[in-house]
Structure 1
Amino acid sequence: MSKNIRYTLLSLRDLLVSVGPFLLLAVGLLALAYWWLDPNPPKRVTLATGPAQSAYDEFGKRYAKILAEDGIEVVLLPSQGSAHNLHLLRKGEVDLGFVQGGTSEERPEDEENLESLGSLFVEPVWLFYREDAARKLLDAGPPGTPSTKPQAGKASDGQTTLNSLTQLEGWRVNTGTPGSGIPNLMNKLLASNKVDPSTLKISALEQTPATMALLAGELDAIVFASAPESLMVQMLLQTPGIALMDFPQSEAYSRRFSFLTPVVLPRGMVDLAANIPPHDVRLVAPTTALISHKGTHPAVLQLFVQAGNRIHGSAGWFKRAREYPNLANNELPISAEAERGIKNDKPFLQRYLPFWVANLVERMWLVMGIIIAIMLPLSRIVPPLYAFRVRSRIFRWYGQLRDIEQRIDNGDTDHQALFQELRNLEIRAEKISVPLSYTDELYALRSNIHLVRKKLQRADATTE
């Protein structure tokens, strides 16, 4: 090994030893920050959806597909519906779930344990009924009998139409399972119309069995709240003999209940060629939000918000492009991730880097900046520490040299022993290896040894 390489390696070794404590402190601070911030999300989260073939079920599949692109597995947990999802969230059995406005009464602990990722879409209250049942039940009664109920409407083809909840008395109506949230919503709507639920023949079938019972004539009407993407909605809107109730008082409902929004299903929206529906239909619609448990990792929430922008941001039956998701009509506190994600585009780094890299940098950059601010002043001690380490290999021999000189000045007569000590010291000095930039100090040591030897020689000559 050449001398230049040996001196270079020696210099690097000294530098590493000098920088070592500094690097260990920096690594320790980074490890502590990583543990505290926990920047990497879990690889698996649970999303409560809804019954099979419902809009919640379809949306859940889309979220799972999008998050799988970033390595996050979304486990879809089927449920009875919105109320059941809220129950699962309150118990901490799921990380996220679709919850419809007005699903249940709020609890004080909800604001502490749950948060909203924004309103995703509106779910109109679809009240489908059999046209033959409307003719039979609404047209019955002796002519001229006074009534305080709103009169049944007439379609353009002369069909009797349902236009008020007060007209449902005596009807066989399915309001869905308790877990769907519709029974609670319908109770509120009936109460606002001063209708006693006991005057209706209410059943609690799931959507699919209820739809089959309606088509078979075993039910007069069914009620559920769902996004228009629901297969049941699509099918019933185009089924002959099945009509959709118009809510002419939709604006009044929205003023009475903050979670309801008046919406209109435009004429021909379902099928322009077949003119379905044949006229504008006014509806009331609760807003559905994606609710998360506050223990859910922020990075996961960020991915769900971004997925929500992709899934719900396009134009639809009851919305314009980019109208949803939004931060309106939320009954729970809004997540900070939702506020950032809905108002802004995808973060800059995530456009060019893999999600886990971009997320790590985004969540660690502030802490890294603080660590750098702390370490920069401390880094000033590295050059003096390096210089001290190199020079200490030279300076430590000055103590022995000083001792020999003092013994000469004190008249020590054992000159032979002193000459031998100087010789041994000179041999050791010749073996000292230092970086080339510090060789002047090494030569200074050897020169001082030579000066002390001359001083000893003079003392020895005087003694003789």
Structure 2
Amino acid sequence: MLAKIEKGIQWTVIAAGVFLLSGLIGQVFLTLPPNSFTFLTGREGGAYFLDSQHYKKIAEEKGFIANIVPTAGSVTALQMLEEGKGDVAFVQGGVAAQGNPEIVSSLATVAFEPVWIFYRLGLSPETPLDTLPQLKGMRIGIGEAGSGTNQLARQLLRDAGIDDNNTTFLELPASEAHDALRDATMDVAFLVTDTESPALRDILVDKDIELVDLRHADAIARRHRFLTVLTLPEATLNLVNVSPPTDIKLLATEANLVVRNDLHQDLLRLLTVA
């Protein structure tokens, strides 16, 4: 009888050990980082897409696979992130604040992005365009639907009394803005991007396109706290041709790295270091 009891105890101990070991193994697997993650960016060739290549390179060096998925822009990327269709995204300032804090968080601010407003030379021959209300009634490129540029441009123009009822809004990607200005199918174009953007570089060297020196930039930035004011010093873009010919005031917003709250800690550290 005693032998049976001892044997039963042995089997109980073994079973408990197996159960405990299984639990520990399961816990280890649960805490292991995934070997890949999805990075949501703007359109292919845009600033966010190009910046994501840096993170992709760092991730691959550490043994992770970064799947880069282009989107229409910040608004679409944030929506996809909240829906679980991505793990990380570049999201423009102002848009990032609209994220659900129970699902996503801003990990870091990675850059400041100027708000560039261009117009065709000769559009306002007597007075240079330097305020937003002057744009009323024109054909304005506000960026692709779903982009942060589109949302920000609409917001700024709405403050100036400009909307779809009194002005033509053209929802074109940044890559098409230069041609539209050159072809005179667009009068004004909003771009929100850093100076490395190919779309921006093409416009900046075009002598028939002028950059708006926004006179009320400080007042606008006080109204929208996610905006700041930058000064583009004289001759910054071209020392030989002295472009711009004078200091120019620009609005700027932040580019944020936004992640899902359930992203593994190892991936969070990787993104922070990168």
> How far 1:34 moved relative to its partner?
7.5
Q: Deviations over 1:408-428 (max 9, x none)?
A: xxxxxxxxxxxxxxxxxxxxx
Who is 2:196 aligned against? 229
Match of 1:242 in 2: 209
Higher mean alpha-carbon deviation, 28-37 vs 207-216, is at 28-37
2: CA distance between counterparts of 1:33 and 1:277? 63
Give 1 or 2: higher helix fraction: 1
The number of residues matched between the two structures is 259
Q: Percent identity?
A: 31
Q: CA deviation at 1:77?
A: 0.2
The one-character-per-residue Cα deviations of 1:42-75 (angstroms, maximum 9, x if unpaired) are 1111000111221001101111111111011111
Residues 379-394 of structure 1 correspond to what in structure 2 (within 5 A)?
A: none
**Residue aligning to 1:292:** 259
Which aligned segments of 4 or more residues in structure 1 are displaced greater than 6 angstroms? none
**Post-superposition shift, 1:100?**
0.6
Q: Deviations over 1:328-357 (max 9, x none)?
A: xxxxxxxxxxxxxxxxxxxxxxxxxxxxxx
Amino acid at match of 1:261: T
CA distance in 2, matches of 1:67, 1:183: 31
Q: CA deviation at 1:276?
A: 1.7
Unmatched runs of 5 consecutive residues or more in structure 2: 1-12
Aligned to 2:102, the other structure's residue is in SS state helix
Residue 41 (structure 1) aligns with:
33
Query: SS at 1:236's partner residue?
Result: helix
Matched, 1:54 2:21: no
Q: SS state of the match for residue 37, structure 2?
A: strand
CA pair 111-120 structure 1, distance change in 2 beyond 3 A: same
Q: Distance in 2 between matches of 1:112 and 1:244?
A: 40
Cα pair 1:104 1:184 within 8 Å, conserved: no
8 Å contact from structure 2 (residues 39, 69) kept in 1: yes
Q: Which secondary structure state, in structure 2, belongs to the residue aligned with residue 60 of structure 1?
A: helix
Question: Is the CA contact 1:39–1:299 (under 8 Å) kept in the aligned structure 2?
Answer: no
Given residue 129 of structure 1, which amino acid in structure 2 is its aligned partner? Y
Match of 1:93 in 2: 85
CA spacing shift, 1:29–1:260, aligned 2, 3 Å: farther
Whose strand proportion is higher, 1 or 2? 2
2:155: which partner in 1? 188
Larger relative contact order (CA 8 Å, sep ≥ 6): 2
What does 1:243-322 align with in structure 2 at a 5 Å threshold? 243-307=210-274
Q: Given the two structures, how large is their TM-score scaled by the length of structure 1? A: 0.52
Deviation at 1:128, TM superposition (A): 1.1
Deviations 1:417-452 (A, max 9, x none): xxxxxxxxxxxxxxxxxxxxxxxxxxxxxxxxxxxx
Specify the structure having the higher radius of gyration (Cα): 1
Calculate the TM-score normalised by the size of structure 2: 0.87
Per-residue CA deviations over 1:260-308 (Å, capped at 9, x if unaligned) read 111111222222233221211111111110101112111111111111x
Q: What is the 5 A alignment of 1:1-12? A: none
Are residues 259 and 166 of structure 1, via their aligned partners in 2, closer, same or farther at CA, if it must alter by over 3 Å?
same
> Structure 2: which amino acid aligns with 1:103?
V
Q: Secondary structure at the match of 2:151?
A: helix
1:63 to 55, 58, 63: 55
Contact map agreement 2:233 2:247 (CA 8 A) in 1:
yes
Q: Tell me if structure 2 keeps the 8 A contact 1:103–1:182.
A: no
Deviation at 1:96, TM superposition (A): 0.6
Q: CA deviation at 1:40?
A: 3.1
2:116 corresponds to which residue? Answer: 126
Describe how 1:52-451 pairs up with structure 2 within 5 A.
52-103=44-95, 106=98, 110-135=100-125, 139=126, 152=127, 161-307=128-274
* Unaligned segments of structure 1, at least 5 residues: 1-20, 140-151, 153-160, 308-464
